[in-house]
Structure 1
């Protein structure tokens, strides 16, 4: 399949909506960077792709193209459904902006976001993204990367959601690494032993000088 796609592109054919739909969900992830860059963003308006099995680089490239393709609908209610298949490549700042739009994201979509993007979100931002689906988050709290996100949040903030999330950071909790003491070398022990051995003589000398003075 990869060879056929490369030959198709090599002959000067564009990866338009018709070609993308012909490639289908199964082979979309086989496109390399060069082939991905030949895709006209507007082609994504008519294409139906599932990027869940694609590499992060593929998701990042196609998200950027999809964002441009649907930019004229950014403030419309339909925008979220249009951009949803590509959110696995969305940076954190775009998700923060999306959290203000009452999108009611499902938790499975949240769990498939870019890891760094998810971990950058606050408790209130995740709450706003999920909307009516917030309670489903409790069922996912032990699954990665939701688990890692929970651990990064203050437990007091998680408690405000009232959905039973546990495992966040406790207020005032500080991780203190145990102090490592360097083992005393045999040379150091020898020096200490000599000092202790000479201590009585040194003390007598000090007292004698003090009396005579």
Structure 2
């Protein structure tokens, strides 16, 4: 099937809605970047796709194509419903925008968001994004990437959500950074030893000059 798809695309054909629906999710995830870019952008408005099981690269490409396809509906309620299958490739800034639109994201979609994007969100922004579904976050607090997100937040900020989340950073937490030491000099040991031998004499000479001046 992969060879057939590659041949189809190499002949200059676009992957339209009927083709995508025929491929299904299984083969969608096998498409390479060239084949994904051959997808007709407008077909993502009507194709029944679920790329949640695909690689992150595939999700990113499909999200960007879907976002362009739906740009004329960005301010409508329908936009969220249409873009939802592709949100696994959405950057943090776009998730914040959806939160401002009060989309009431379901928890299943939330747990499939890109980890790096989720890490960009504050507890208040997550509250805006989930809306009426916020209480369901408690049930998945030990599931990645939600668990990773919780561990990055201050516990006092998580407490403001009033849903019983635990595992955040305590107030006053200091993130210690291991100091970086200069690597040992590559100079020969003899040269290093000479420096330590000469240094006291130089220091003594300097002090004598200071006293006599």
TM-score range, shorter chain: 0.7 to 0.9
How far did 1:176 drift? Answer: 4.7
What is aligned with 1:106?
A: 106
How far the C-alpha of 1:82 sits from its partner, in A, is 0.3
CA RMSD between the two structures? 1.5
Structure 1 residues 147-167: Cα deviation after superposition (integer angstroms, max 9, x where no partner): 010011111111111110001
Q: Deviations over 1:63-91 (max 9, x none)?
A: 00000001111100111000000000001
Please list every run of at least 4 consecutive aligned residues from structure 1 whose deviation after the TM superposition is greater than 6 angstroms: none
Indicate the residue corresponding to 2:206 in structure 1.
Answer: none
Aligned residue for 1:52, secondary structure, equals helix
Give the aligned partner of residue 125 of structure 2. 125
Query: Aligned ranges for residues 55-70 of structure 1 at < 5 Å?
Result: 55-70=55-70
Distance 1:178 1:16 in 2: 53
Match of 1:167 in 2: 167
Q: SS of 2:28's equivalent? A: helix
Q: Paired residue for 1:75?
A: 75
Q: Which one has the largest radius of gyration?
A: 1
Q: How far apart in 2 are the matches of 1:173 and 1:44?
A: 46
Match of 2:9, SS state, is helix
Aligned to 2:193: none
TM-score by length of 1: 0.81
CA distance in 1, matches of 2:135, 2:144: 17
State the TM-score, normalizing by the size of structure 2.
0.81
Displacement of 1:40 in angstroms is 2.0
CA offsets per residue over residues 179-199 of structure 1, 9 Å max, x none? 9xxxxxxxxxxxxxxxxxxxx
Paired with 1:163 and 1:25, the residues of 2 have a C-alpha distance of 35
User: In structure 2, how many angstroms separate the alpha carbons of the residues matched to 1:118 and 1:25?
Assistant: 24
Q: Number of aligned pairs? A: 179
Change (3 A) 1:6 1:177: closer
Provide the C-alpha distance between the structure 1 equivalents of 2:177 and 2:129, rounded to a whole number of angstroms.
36
C-alpha deviation, 1:174, in angstroms = 2.1
Output the CA distance in 1 between the equivalents of 2:177 and 2:130: 37
Structure 1 stretch displaced more, 76-85 or 169-178: 169-178
| Residues 25-70 of structure 1: CA deviation (Å, up to 9, x unaligned) | 2211111000111112111112111101111000000100000001
In structure 2, stretches of 5+ residues that fail to align are 180-213
User: Which residue pairs with 2:86 in the alignment?
Assistant: 86
Contact 2:100–2:128 under 8 Å retained in 1: yes
Q: Within 1, Cα distance between the matches of 2:32 and 2:173?
A: 46
Deviations 1:100-122 (A, max 9, x none): 01111111211111110000100
Residues 28 and 157 (structure 1), Cα distance of their counterparts in 2 relative to 1, 3 Å cut: same
Is 2:47 the counterpart of 1:28?
no
